[in-house]
Structure formats: C-alpha cells, structure tokens
Amino acid sequence: MAENNVKAYISELVRRAKIAQKEFERTATDQLTIDKVVRAVGKTIYDNREELARDACEETKYGTVQMKINKILASTPGQWNVMRGKKSVGYIENLRDEPGVKVMAKPMGVVGCVMPSTNPIVTIGANGMMAIKCRNACIIAPHPSAKNVSLKTVNMIRKEIEALGAPADLIQVIDPEHCSIQATDEMLRQCDVNIATGGPGMVKAVYSCGRPGFGVGQGNCQEILCDDYDNLDYMAGAIVANRSYDYGVPCVSEQTIHVPAAREGDFLKAMQAAGAFLLEDPDTIQKLREVVFPDGEHISRDVVGRSPQVVGRMIGVEVPEDRRILLCKYTGCAQDDVLSKEILFPLARYVTYTDFKATVAAAVANLEQEGAGHNSCIWTHDEEKIEYAAHLLPVSRFQVNQTPAGINNGLPSTPTLGCGTWGNNSISENLEWYHLMNTTRVTVTLPNKRLWKDGDWDRFDECPVTED
C-alpha cells in the first residue's frame, strides 16, 4: 500500500475519532452516563466470549478456546469493577498535599492502542474501557495475525455503545485491508497518546513516535521457593495451573523456578503430581534449546502458544495427554543458557540453590538479560527474605505466596503491566484508566502566605508547611 494512502486512511480514522471524542466530552458530563458506556464495552466482550474466543484461537493459532473464555470471564468484570463509580469527570479527589487546590479531570484526546497477537480480545476491551472512562476516543491497531477477530470485536462494541447514544467512533479499528506495520506506525504519530501491549520492538516504536506513550516490557518471571515454605502441593498446583494457562502465552507465566537443593525431590514429586512432565535426558533438553531458539536468541513462532504434547513431538518425546506442562532443570543463568529467557509455551525451568542470596543474584541476572521491570514472586513466610528479594529484584510487582498471575491481592486488574525504566516504560505499575487522564489544577488564594524559613535547611525530619 502506498505511503500516501496509509497516511490518508489513518488521518480519516483520527479525524472521526476527534469528532467523537469532543462530542462525548461535551455531552457526557455526569459519571453515570460515562460508566454506562464503559460497562457496555466490557460486557459486550463478556456476553460474546465463546464466539470471540473461538475466532481468536482459529485466527492466531495460540492457546485454547476454553482458556480464552476463562480469561474473558476473569478480566473484563475485573476491569469494570476497578473503575465503576470512580470519578473521571469534573472535580476529583486531590491526593497530594496541596492546600487550596482542586483537581479537575480532562480527557487526553485520541488514544492509539497497539494490540498483541497473544491476547487480542481482552486487551481491546481493557484499553477501550480505560480510554472511554476518561472521555477519550481510541483507535485499535490489531496484530496482523488477529486482524479479523479484532474487527469483529470492535464492531460489536460500536453497535452497543451507539445504542446508548454515544458516538460509535469512540472506538475504531484499523481494518484488515489496511492492517500493517506502516499503518500502526502512522497511527502512533497521529494519536494524542499511545499504549503498546506487545514486544520490545513495538514498545520502542511507541516511545520514539513523538507522542506520549505507555508501554509494557517483556516478561521473564522469576519464582523463588524458600526452604521454610510448607505447602508444596498448593504451590505446585498453582504453578502448573498458571504455566499451562492459554498454553503459556500470558506474560505473567513463571519462567525460572529457584528451588532449594535439599527440597528438589519433594518439589519434583509435587510438580509431577500436579501435571508436569519432567524432561531429564540431557540430549532431549539440548534439542529443546535448538527447537525453541533455532538461532540461539529468538524464540521460534512454531512453539508459541502450543501444547506440551505438540512441542514434545518437535523434540522427539511423546508427552501423555494428561500432562499440562513440561518441566526441566538447567544450571546456567542469563547469558550462560538460553533457557533463562522468556518462553511462550507451557515449559517451566528450574534451578537448584544452596545459598539464598546467590539465587536472588541469579534471578536478577535473568531479569536483566530479559524481562526487567515486569513481575516475580516468592514462596516463603520469612519476612527478611521477602524484603531482601523485593529490594534487589528489578520488578514492578513482587508477589508473596502467589504465582506471578495471582489476583487475590490489592493490585488493580489490567492486561498492561508497566515496567518502569527497567523495561523502558514510563510507569512502574499496572496501567489503569487514570493514566489516560489530563488534569487541570484550580487554585485559590490562601488566607496566609506560605513561608519557608532558613532554619528548615537544618531539619531532617518531615518539615510541615509554615503559614504565617
């Protein structure tokens, strides 16, 4: 497609988005009106989950239909419950120590949303809900391998929000005919702010396009088992359930598990009872390296989102149908072994250790090679070990006695995990709706002038503001 045609096509989408956004900003002045439209975005996906999950699997060839249904069941209501009723119009709560300052919520404009092939449906829903919550419009740039199901999803949403009286063009999608890297790049240049949920290349594109952006870094979750943790059966069941989820494509899947050497036998027994298939033969594990990373660096697309049985046949191993993940041991870390990288199918690797601080250092090295800023977890009741690992691991989320995907905690639901400067991201927390909000600070004259004194320089405790 000619460059001029791509630019003209994207310009038309942006023009329509701006008109819709301004209309919604003008007419949606109460929270209930806004939230009804937000609800419609998520509930449309929820209500059509079986059809959309099937279409996503058929088109992308990643994961399973049931797992994608389960993902929708968990994620879309979770997203809705995070934001329903929260103020995103008019005056909102001022969370800073600013006397005489009121904060007014404003839209950012048009949000460009780059979608991953591994999680297209839920991400469309979440980004659409977050954008519209702050009275923005959004344009979806699908991954080429999910362009048709993305179009269907967006068209379903457009119909439902239009029925509520909102402009359909609050959400648009680059259609299959125009879906391309060139069209996505042009969208990034023309939108007011962008979100990238995808690989490092796409995140880099978002931050280099000349517009503000939010990106997610790469996952390579490290999981540390400590010698005091006493419920291996529970842990193993949680690991296998999470690592097998949607055939291992979620970025919050555990990658390397650090196991005390004295507990290796018990660990393996629990993992196998939970559904893991242990690869022990060194030649088989070397074949695994070669199949998964044929060039020694980049993962083969042939294994992404494939079952343990399919990958097993690729390496010459028959894996019983009741086995949910593959499991193998390796001894290197970071650059010493390619198996320390992120792998997007149901394979867990483990290493053994005798020194806790040394294994934390190995986990840090793995993350610094790939996945810094993302997520890791620890299984222990030892507060000193929790604090030590949390202090050193370069991650934005560190979960205790949960898998990296654990949801029974206070973190808000999101499909986009900001990884801070570790992952070349602008935020080190879960991306939420309030990140897509401009604010106006309305100030009044204070009754007394705020004065600071020379003596304040000699104080090291918290210094209160002096008002004379």
- Asked whether residue 208 carries a pLDDT value surpassing 90, the answer given is no
DSSP state, residue 341 = S
In this prediction, residues 42-47 reach a mean pLDDT of: 98
**What are the backbone dihedrals phi and psi of residue 20, each rounded to the nearest 5 degrees, phi first?**
-65, -45
Q: Output the pLDDT for position 465.
A: 55
Q: Both tokens of residue 31?
A: 């929270």
Residue 367 lies in a domain: yes
Q: Output the pLDDT for position 216.
A: 77
Which residues span the domain enclosing 85?
3-216+429-441
Pair 228, 210 in one domain: no
Q: Output the pLDDT for position 425.
A: 84
- Catalytic residue numbers read 251
Q: Identify the CA nearest to 396 among candidates 290, 282, 252.
A: 252
Q: Are 45 and 221 in contact (CB under 8 A)?
A: no
Number of domains in the chain: 2
Q: Output the pLDDT for position 200.
A: 67
Give first-to-last CA distance, the chain, whole Å: 68
Q: Both tokens of residue 173?
A: 């999608």
- Cα 337 to Cα 334: distance, rounded to the nearest angstrom: 6
Pair 179, 270 in one domain: no
Better-predicted residue by pLDDT, 24 or 208: 24
Pair 252, 399 in one domain: yes
| pLDDT grade for 125, boundaries at 50, 70 and 90 | very high
Q: Both tokens of residue 355?
A: 């020194």
- Cα 34 to Cα 165: distance, rounded to the nearest angstrom: 11
Q: Output the pLDDT for position 269.
A: 98
Q: What is the DSSP annotation of 153-168?
A: HHHHHHHHHHHTTS-G
Q: Output the pLDDT for position 43.
A: 97
Mean pLDDT of the chain: 92
Residues of the chain with pLDDT > 90, as a percent, come to 76
In this prediction, residues 155-184 reach a mean pLDDT of: 97
Name the strand (E) or helix (H) holding 9: helix 3-27
Q: Identify the CA nearest to 86 among candidates 140, 32, 160.
A: 32
Specify the CATH number for the domain of residue 257: 3.40.309.10
219-to-130, 251, 342 alpha-carbon distances in Å: 22, 5, 6
Pair 152, 243 in one domain: no
62-72 exposure pattern, b = at least 16 Cβ within 10 A, e = fewer: bbbbebbbebb
Q: Output the pLDDT for position 251.
A: 87
Residue 463 lies in a domain: no
- Asked whether residue 7 carries a pLDDT value surpassing 80, the answer given is yes
Q: Output the pLDDT for position 215.
A: 79
| pLDDT grade for 63, boundaries at 50, 70 and 90 | confident
Pair 361, 382 in one domain: yes
Q: Both tokens of residue 404?
A: 């990296």
Residue 452 lies in a domain: no
